[in-house]
Amino acid sequence: MSDAAIDVVEFLLTASRYNDNRELDENDLLPRYRQVFWPDRTDQSDSDRPGRDEIPGIERPVRPTIENARRATGVENPWSAISELMFTDRDEFSGSLELAQPDMAEEWFLSRAEDRIIHNPVLADAFEEEVEGADYEAARNANRPIQADRAWIDGLLAEYFADEEEEEMLDLVDIRAPEEIETTLDDLVLTHDQEAEIHKIVKAIEHREYLAHIGLREIGKLLFVGPPGTGKTSTARALAYDLDLPFVEVKLSMITSQYLGETAKNVEKVFEVAKRLSPCILFMDEFDFVAKTRASDEHAAIKRAVNTLLKSIDDISLIQDDVLLIGATNHPDQLDAAAWRRFDEIVNFPKPDEQMRADILKLVTRPMEIVDFDPQELARETEGLTGSDLRMVLREAVLDALTEERTELTQQDFLDAVKDFEERDHLKDMDMIEGDHDALVAGGDISGSASADGGHSHDH
């Protein structure tokens, strides 16, 4: 029997068992199944919408229609895949697929795909006694939580920020579901100190209840400092991916440059978004903007916004609000004492040393064919370059080779690209460029098609 049939039957069995067991919840459904059962509330009237204190969810019974099965499994013709099985049926009127004989369906599935049970919490619960290795708690813990789903985030935002004025506020933040972040912490080259700080915050998140119990609440406000291209944004996003947390990113200059008369209100809204999406990471880029504004003769509305920002930072807590706050700045020298004392941990992102550059080069070149590749030599030749600089060097080497119809590169290609990079005036002194042009270092996307903030490229 084809994998397509197994995929569809697993989907139908999961839907059936989920409907029957009311003790299961949305976090027991595989993410690819949850997305098709998520209710569409865009057409609901205000009176039909849940209240602000209600978490949107998936209502029972879930209906495995042909369209749902197609979206959940990727099988183009779900009914054709299972129509010859004796235990399946189709409701012509509703378009639903059904298991006419569930016991036979279970026996059929277990004889062909028993290994899938251990990864599916609904089925692990159903067959824990029958299948060796099936462990419901382990399967559920390994399953991505619903708070990490794009559908959950969009549904929540649609309900909490329903009117036009509030919806406009969402334009000031970039909200990413973990499933939309392509970088993990394993994809990054980090310093020992960076790894240690990240490990500490991961432990703090795991033991929030204990920290609250002993009254230790001033934890979970990190400041990432370092020149552009050193991985501040990339690391924050990778942390969101690894912890399955929504990622709320805001550039402080954006809040104050738009809707000038509403700046303080906009700041409050950013923190409200984060609290509504909690647990989540709130990433505030360009944090030096705070100090610049406080020290200048800026418009009174902007100064009010900055004061509101500092107060909001004081009032938010990882322990109480489940929000991990990360600020980032390219210019730590411009921060004043009021800004520094808001953070309990400072994480330095220096330019990479020679060994880090070699490690970055090894990672980013993994998918390439290279003759006589010597990353240590390249590391020696690229002193002072950041991870994003190295990516640009590698990109140049690849493109030059392609102009010669070559996909196999040489060490000389990279050395020539380093020389070209250094000779291009507009790429010198990258520290003087405003903004954090992070670029990740693993995986192999050096196409240059990624955004400059490092979301799909690679940095250390």
Q: What is the pLDDT along the chain (460 residues), one digit of tens a residue?
A: 579 999 999 999 999 999 999 999 999 999 999 989 987 654 444 444 444 345 557 888 999 999 999 999 999 999 999 999 999 999 888 889 999 999 999 999 999 999 999 999 999 999 999 999 999 999 999 998 888 888 888 888 877 776 665 666 677 788 999 989 988 898 899 999 999 999 999 999 889 889 888 988 778 899 999 999 999 999 999 999 999 999 999 877 766 555 555 667 778 888 888 998 889 999 999 887 766 665 555 567 667 777 888 889 999 989 989 999 999 999 888 887 878 888 989 999 999 999 999 999 999 898 899 999 999 999 999 999 999 899 999 999 999 999 999 999 999 999 999 998 887 745 455 555 444 444 444 333 443 333 334 333 344 4
Give the 3-state DSSP-derived string for 382-404, with helices as H, strands as E and coil as C. Answer: CCCCCHHHHHHHHHHHHHHHHHC
DSSP for residue 65: B
Report pLDDT for 158: 79
Both tokens of 458, joined, read: 């690679």
Retrieve residue 217's tokens: 């609440």
Can you give the pLDDT at residue 46?
46
- CATH topology for the 354-432 domain: Helicase, Ruva Protein; domain 3 (1.10.8)
State both tokens at 310. Answer: 């500092």
Number of Cβ within 10 Å of residue 292's Cβ equals 17
Distance CA 327, CA 251 (A): 10
d(CA 427, CA 389): 9
370: its two tokens: 């290279």
Helix ranges restricted to H, 316-386: 318-321, 337-340, 354-364, 375-381
Distance CA 318, CA 219 (A): 7
The whole-number pLDDT of residue 47 equals: 45
Please name the residue that has the structure tokens 């432990």: 203
For residue 14, the 8-state DSSP code is H
* Token pair in block for residue 296: 């200048």
Each domain of the chain, given as residue ranges in start order, spans 3-22+60-143, 150-348, 354-432
Could you tell me the maximum CA-CA distance found in the chain, to the nearest angstrom? 78
CATH 2.120.10.80 fits 150-348, yes or no: no
DSSP 8-state assignment for residue 29: S
C-alpha 304/C-alpha 396 separation (Å) is 46
CA dist., res. 82 & res. 328, Å (int) = 53
Contact 255, 247 (CB under 8 A): no
Look at the alpha carbons of 208, 214, 215, 219 in this order and tell me if their dihedral is positive or negative.
negative
Q: Residue 25: how many CB atoms within 10 A of its CB?
A: 14
CB atoms within 10 A of CB 393: 27
Three state DSSP letters for 93-117: CCCEEEECCHHHHHHHHHHHHHHHH
Residues 6+ apart with CB under 8 A from 83: 90
Backbone angles phi, psi at 176, to 5 degrees: -120, 135
